[in-house]
Amino acid sequence: MPDAMVVFCPNANSYRRFLPGFFAPTAADWGINNRAVALRVPPSGHADARIEHRVAGADANPYLVTAAVLAGMHHGLKAGLDPGPAAGSEAPGTGAALPDRWEGALAAFKASAVLPAYLGEEYCRTFHDARRWECDQHHAHVPRLDYDWYLRTV
C-alpha cells in the first residue's frame, strides 16, 4: 500500500487531508467499522460483506486505483502476508506508515519491487517520471503565501 500511494494520491493537493483527526489513514492497516484505517470493514451481513479502501482520493484515476488495489491483494495472498490485528475503534492501527507527502510517495513507488511485476516496468517508470516532473514544476512555483509570510520578515 505505501508503494502505491502516488497512484492513490496523484498530486500535491491530495495529501492535504492526511492530518490527525481528519479520519484519513496514516498507516496500511485495517479495522472493523473504523474510519481512521486504510481498509475498513463496515458492519454488514454475510450477503453484503465488503471492504472500503479509504486511502485513494477523489482525484485518483479509478482504473489505476483498482489495478493497484488488486495487485496488492494478489501479492498479499500469494506471499501469505499477515495483515496483523484489527485496529481498535476509531484509532489508527500499527501497519506500515503511508507517505504523507508527494515526494515520499514518489520515492516509495520508484523503489517498489511489487508494482512493476503487476503494472509493468515501463508503465511504472513512465508514470513515475511524469509525476516527478509535475512535482518538480509544482515546487518551482513560488506561491503568493510565501510572499505574504516571508517577504516582510527577511
Q: At what angle do helices 102-111 and 121-140 cross, to 10 degrees?
A: 160
pLDDT exceeds cutoff 90 at 14: yes
* Consecutive H or E run containing 71: helix 62-79
- Distance between CA atoms of 33 and 49, rounded to whole angstroms? 12
In this prediction, residue 1 carries a pLDDT of 95
In this prediction, residue 48 carries a pLDDT of 92
Which residues lie closer than 8 Å to 10 by C-beta, 6 or more apart?
59, 60, 61, 131
Domains of the chain with bracketed CATH: 2-150 (3.30.590.10)
In this prediction, residue 12 carries a pLDDT of 92
Task: Give the DSSP letter string of 13-39.
Answer: GGGGG-STTS----EE-EEES-TTSSE
In this prediction, residue 93 carries a pLDDT of 64
Nearest of 36, 1, 40 to residue 21 by alpha carbon:
36
Q: How many CB atoms lie within 10 A of CB 126?
A: 11
The answer to whether 58 touches 11, Cβ cutoff 8 Å, is: no
In this prediction, residue 90 carries a pLDDT of 65
What are 82-132's pLDDT values in tens digits?
988 888 876 666 788 999 999 999 999 999 999 999 999 999 999 999 999
What are 31-48's pLDDT values in tens digits?
998 888 999 999 999 999
In this prediction, residue 92 carries a pLDDT of 62
pTM of this structure? 0.88
Who wins on pLDDT, 147 or 10? 10
